[in-house]
Amino acid sequence: MFFRRFKKTDHIVEDHPLVHHRGIFRRQISLFEAVALVVSGTIGAGVLGIPFVVAKVGISIGILYIVTLGLLMMGLNLLIGEVATCTKQELQIVGLARVYLGRWGAWFMTGLIYVMGVGVLTVYIVGEGTALSALFGGDSFTWSVIFFAIGSVCVYAGLRLIKIMDLFLGLGLLLVIIVISLLGVPHMSVAHVEFNNLAYLLFPYGVILFSLSSTGVIPEAHALLKRKDGLFKKTIVIASIICIVIYSLFAFVVVGVTGLETTEIATVGLGSVVGNTIFVLGNIFAVLAMGTGFLMRGIALRDSLTWDYKVHPVTASLVVCVIPFLIFIAGLRSFIGLIDVIGGVFVSIDLLCMVLIYWRARQQGVLNNKKYHIHHALLLVPVLLLALAVGAVYSLVKLF
């Protein structure tokens, strides 16, 4: 796949030119591989919480949320993709913020990334405890502590195979979602499908936005599709459509099966209706997906502290792991509640900053790539600003 490392002395095959990315040489990737990269970078633990929020508001409104926010995220990813293709350097989101929003913009984006990273690690600690308790019995708090202890050691060790595992587990989770959806269809209830509750109209926003957020992986895909701007644009569109379809199918079937009894982690509540095999399979993949996500995010934050700010590796590991654990110990242990706050408040603000990055790049006249041009961008930008601003304000007000 696209994780193989190359040296300058390696033979370069004409059909597979190399790109210099993050200090090492990698083979350029195909359309299929690029789509797999973006899909696996999008689908994570958040999808397990979508059925719960959809069950509260009703399937029809919930799927409308998924489709609408999914299309908005696709539009935003296309905008950031255009900025990436027109920027001379290969930069991640913080780097783009530094170029187009200045030093303070870069610092603000960096702070957001760290806050969201700590929040997501807390989500994984909570979610792992719930899933492991469902699989093996016992108290979810105890399982969360056990997972934290093991996960912290792995973060300190810095397991380098985690990147590859994340790809395959992301695609594995995609396969499990499809299998669960297909096997769950015969158990669906018409009453569950027809249910709607407008009292929860805005409730799904934060969780669904969190689950669809994938902008951080867009510069990565661009760097590995060097000089293939047409394929890069197709990658964003295809990956977005796949995620929208899979999320909608999963929410439709799970809520159709379990209705208002849908659990915060969807796979936990399926066993009593669909069968023990799906219960075990779904929760095993939930455990693996959240566990790998914890290690991926933890190692990334640890390396950032170590490389960018020269923090000692032991201290960096303690900061990355202990802060989420202290939040967990303090009593913030709602899987959906945490995802809702992270997605509704912090992801919304983060995405608003990305819209500003695009706008500043447009004002500076650097968006001149004729092979990658977003039509009607001037219509998309105000829609994104309005939707994200309203969502962020609502999520903040809901906290108080």
Rounded Cα distance, 283 and 271, in Å: 10
Contact between 82 and 373 under an 8 Å Cβ cutoff? The reply is yes
pLDDT < 50: residue spans in the chain: 1-16, 18-25
Question: pTM for the whole thing?
Answer: 0.87
Contact between 336 and 52 under an 8 Å Cβ cutoff? The reply is yes
Q: Write the CA distances from 58 to 49, 84, 137, integer angstroms.
A: 14, 38, 31
Rounded Cα distance, 209 and 230, in Å: 27
> Would strands 18-21 and 24-27 be described as parallel, antiparallel, or unpaired?
antiparallel
Q: What is the pLDDT of residue 346?
A: 94
Closest CA to 131 of 142, 120, 140: 140
H-type alpha helices, the chain? 31-42, 50-57, 59-86, 93-136, 140-157, 162-184, 190-194, 205-212, 218-223, 229-258, 271-274, 276-309, 313-329, 335-341, 348-363, 377-399
Rounded Cα distance, 89 and 92, in Å: 10
Q: What is the pLDDT of residue 162?
A: 61
Q: What is the pLDDT of residue 17?
A: 56
- Assign 24 to helix, strand or coil: strand
Burial of 31 from C-beta contacts in 10 A (0-12 / 13-18 / 19+): middle
Q: Which residues contact 384 (CB under 8 A, 6 or more apart)?
A: 72, 75, 76, 351, 355
What is the CATH code of the structural domain delimited by 27-399?
1.20.1740.10
